[in-house]
Amino acid sequence: ISTIWQSIQATADIFPRHLRRMLKYLRHETRNKWPDNQNNVTYSVRSGFVFLRLFCPAILNPKLFDLADEMPDPLVSRNLTLVSKVLMSLANLADISQKEPYLLVAKPWIEANTQSMLDYLDAITVVPEKNGTKPYNKEIDSTHWRNGINYTIGMAHVQHLLKENLEHIRVLPTNPVLVRLQHVLRDFDLVFSQNF
């Protein structure tokens, strides 16, 4: 468990920028919604997102995440499940319940690593500027959200998908809409290169 936890901690410097922004947004929103219980809630939301959706699924199914060439045998799968449960218990920042008494042996390890979990969550919530030297501290602009949809992030995804498929678009017959789309994509690239 310690080896896997150390490997996860080592990702703090290379944690993807777009996920850092998402975590920063989650922290911002949970602080606004629960101002009296900021620390516990902000840490729980971020740790739940990162561990429940990213790290633990990769540990449980390494083949799906290209970490292994084949599915692990049942004994290895059971061990990976236990590792995942211990890491999730650490990420939950909660006491191990009596529902899973077999995890009680990990309680001292969890208690010893709780502060390092908090430090890790804080580290991956800092959004560096594009050159990677200074933290990105601009406030979250909620004007990009309408009806529960973040149009800025949505458009960034659309731009990314279109850019990835630009070669396929170029082989299509000349079409004024596609030509305009290519110009829009170039404009997006220019804006992103200047602002991000």
Q: Residue 40: its pLDDT value, please?
A: 81
* Structure-token match 């498929």, residue found: 165
Other Cβ atoms within 10 Å of 11 Cβ, number = 15
- Per run of 10 residues, the mean pLDDT along the chain (length 196 residues) is 90 88 90 78 90 91 85 90 92 77 86 93 86 44 47 58 60 62 67 56
Strand partners, 36: none
pLDDT of residue 148: 47
Q: For position 59, what pLDDT does the model report?
A: 92
| Contact status, residue 70 vs residue 77, Cβ threshold 8 Å | no
User: What pLDDT sits at residue 64?
Assistant: 85
pLDDT, residue 133, reads 42
In the chain, the N- to C-terminal Cα span, in Å, equals: 37
Q: Which amino acid is at 141?
A: D
pLDDT given for residue 127 in this prediction: 87
| Whether this model's pTM surpasses 0.85 | no
User: Among candidates 120, 48, 132, which has minimal Cα distance to 91?
Assistant: 48
